[in-house]
Amino acid sequence: MDTKTAIIKLGDSLIREKGYNAFSFSDISKKLSIKNASVHYHFPTKTALGLAIIQEHHNRLDQLKTKMENKAPIEKLNAFLSIYTVAESEHKICIIGSLATDFYTVETEIQNKVKILADNILNWVMEILQDGKDKKVFLFNISTRTKALMIITNMLAAVQLTRLTNKQDFKEIKENIIHDLTQTC
Amino acid sequence: MDTKTAIIKLGDSLIREKGYNAFSFSDISKKLSIKNASVHYHFPTKTALGLAIIQEHHNRLDQLKTKMENKAPIEKLNAFLSIYTVAESEHKICIIGSLATDFYTVETEIQNKVKILADNILNWVMEILQDGKDKKVFLFNISTRTKALMIITNMLAAVQLTRLTNKQDFKEIKENIIHDLTQTC
DNA sequence: AAACTTACCTACTTATTGGTAGGTAAGTTT
DNA sequence: AAACTTACCTACCAATAAGTAGGTAAGTTT
């Protein structure tokens, strides 16, 4: 892995573990055994690094969407929920949740890019839910947008909350989301 | 309002607006037109201030619980949900969500105290839900703890997410929580 | 009246932050 | 061979962070 990629990966870890304002160029340079100025060579400003990290999430989302393209709605949903399962197992939170908390402290460029990412995620979940509803595998009688938001908020906050409560809670929440969607009322 | 109370109030605002690591003693002293050292007089360390802010939330929760003691479950639930409605209207997030994001950057004392606060909130919501279920005004067939967690995660993340999407979303989520609990299936 | 407390102050320290100027060694292109 | 690019480096800077030492003016207690 080249240095630039390593910086993005580490920066992403740090943002999702400690938050945008708690990580520094120094954290990165120390961990990668390079100098502070070398990080600045790849990313002139912290904002530039932040933007690259969000871009990486855009790319990963696109890859996952493509990979799951021809799968059943339930499998797509599981793929989406797995993002959070992995995060939770690494004691990390979702990039959206992390940057939403720090939203008013980051530059407008980052605000805009994270808004677009949130929108992309929401749209994907809405597509999955609508497809599942059309195919009679998902059951819900509220708007697709609100249902998608309910699921996203459950997951987004679950990874945050389970830092404070216990690990089992996350699993229960996740299982209930699937059960709630697939039950025959 | 005395200075000490003003510092706690302002500190709480800052944590919930910008996050724990993005607010400084300087933010507080400037806004209150006192000197940095005067903030340190009331709160020797940032941790001490953080603890006082969490304590304030413990107190407010106790007050609200007492105030709603003899009310109907639906009214109690509305009182709980209103905490987030107020937060959302002020562009602030929940203290639990804010400190969960910054969890691994704060001292153990703060971690422990915020854990207890989260537990108190969860217990109250569980009490409300169980009472409502017993009185046949709420309907749900999963464990009370999981149901409480689903509602809390919806609200906790809704105030974060609506910073990125639009205001209407919060209202829809909130209304659906009530509808979902009170519908006759 | 003397001693003490409260609620501030000035002036400082040490550490860290994001960021820059300018250099270098190795490889690539022309 | 000369020019340029890449990927680092040393050495610095100004700003800000949390925190401290010691002083003062006003009020309270003994």
* 3-state helix/strand/coil string of B107-140: CHHHHHHHHHHHHHHHHHHHHHHHHHHHCCCCCC
Distance CA B185, CA B180 (A): 9
Q: Give per-residue pLDDT as tens, B158-173.
A: 999 999 997 799 999 9
Which bases on strand D have an atom closer than 7 Å to a protein beta carbon?
7-12, 16-22
Torsion, CA A34, CA A37, CA A38, CA A42, rounded to 10: 140
Q: Give per-residue pLDDT as tens, B67-110.
A: 999 999 999 999 999 999 999 999 999 999 999 999 999 999 99
Structure tokens at A18: 């400690």
Phi-psi region of B90 (alpha: psi -120 to 50; beta: other; left: phi over 0): alpha
The count of structural domains within chain A is: 1
How much is the pLDDT for B52? 96
Across the interface, whether the CB atoms of B96 and A161 are under 8 A apart is answered yes
Q: Which domain holds residue A123?
A: 3-182
Rounded CA–C1' distance between A14 and C25, in angstroms: 32
Q: Which of A118, A150, A185 sits opposite B176 (nearest CB)?
A: A150
Chain B: residue whose CA lies nearest to A112: B164
Across the interface, whether the CB atoms of A164 and B98 are under 8 A apart is answered no
> What band does B174 get if pLDDT is binned at 50, 70 and 90?
very high
| Cα B13 versus chain centre, distance | 12
| Cα A173 versus chain centre, distance | 17
How much is the pLDDT for B1? 82
Please enumerate residues of A whose Cβ is less than 8 A from a Cβ of B.
17-19, 21-22, 91, 93, 96-98, 100-105, 114-115, 118-119, 122, 142-143, 145-146, 149-150, 152-158, 160-161, 163-165, 169, 172-173, 176, 179, 185
Q: Give per-residue pLDDT as tens, A66-96.
A: 999 999 999 999 999 999 999 999 999 999 9
Task: Identify which of B142, B138, B146 has the alpha carbon closest to the alpha carbon of residue B75.
Answer: B138
How much is the pLDDT for A152? 98
**CA dist list (Å): A73 to A58, A83, B120, B140:** 21, 16, 37, 25
Rounded CA–C1' distance between A111 and C25, in angstroms: 40
Question: CATH number, domain at A171?
Answer: 1.10.357.10
Phi-psi region of A136 (alpha: psi -120 to 50; beta: other; left: phi over 0): left
B185 Cβ contact list (under 8 Å, min separation 6)? A185, B139
Distance CA B107, CA A95 (A): 23
**CA dist list (Å): B49 to A101, B3, B8, B16, B52:** 20, 13, 7, 14, 5
Asked if A73 and A138 touch (Cβ cutoff 8 Å), the reply is: yes
How much is the pLDDT for B50? 97
Rounded CA–C1' distance between A92 and D17, in angstroms: 26
Across the interface, whether the CB atoms of A105 and B18 are under 8 A apart is answered yes
| Cα B118 versus chain centre, distance | 9
Rounded CA–C1' distance between B36 and C11, in angstroms: 12
Report the run of H or E that residue B73 belongs to, with start and end. helix B73-89
Which bases on strand C have an atom closer than 7 Å to a protein beta carbon?
7-12, 16-22
Question: Which residues of chain A, if any, have pLDDT below 70?
Answer: 184-185
Across the interface, whether the CB atoms of A100 and B154 are under 8 A apart is answered no
**CA dist list (Å): B3 to A29, B13, B17, B37:** 41, 15, 21, 13
Q: Residue A1 CB: number of other CB atoms within 10 A?
A: 7
Task: Identify which of B31, B37, B36, B35 has the alpha carbon closest to the alpha carbon of residue B6.
Answer: B31
Q: SS in 3 state form for A40-70?
A: HHHCCCHHHHHHHHHHHHHHHHHHHHHHHCC
CA of A3 vs chain B CAs: smallest distance (Å): 26
Distance CA A156, CA A169 (A): 13
How much is the pLDDT for A185? 53
Phi-psi region of A43 (alpha: psi -120 to 50; beta: other; left: phi over 0): beta
Rounded CA–C1' distance between B39 and C8, in angstroms: 10
**Which residues of chain B make contact with A153, given a CB cutoff of 8 A?**
153-158, 161, 173
Which 8-state DSSP code applies to residue B185? -
How much is the pLDDT for A34? 94
Q: SS in 3 state form for B150-179?
A: HHHHHHHHHHHHCCCCCHHHHHHHHHHHHH
Task: Identify which of A8, A179, A185 has the alpha carbon closest to the alpha carbon of residue A78.
Answer: A179
How much is the pLDDT for A184? 62
Q: Which of A22, A150, A160 sits opposite B173 (nearest CB)?
A: A150
Q: Give per-residue pLDDT as tens, B98-153.
A: 999 999 999 999 999 999 999 999 999 999 999 999 999 999 999 999 999 999 99
> What band does B183 get if pLDDT is binned at 50, 70 and 90?
confident
For helices A25-32 and A3-18, what crossing angle results, to 10°? Answer: 130
Residues lining strand C, beta carbon within 7 angstroms = A 23-27, 36-37, 40, 44-47; B 2-4, 29, 33-38, 41-42
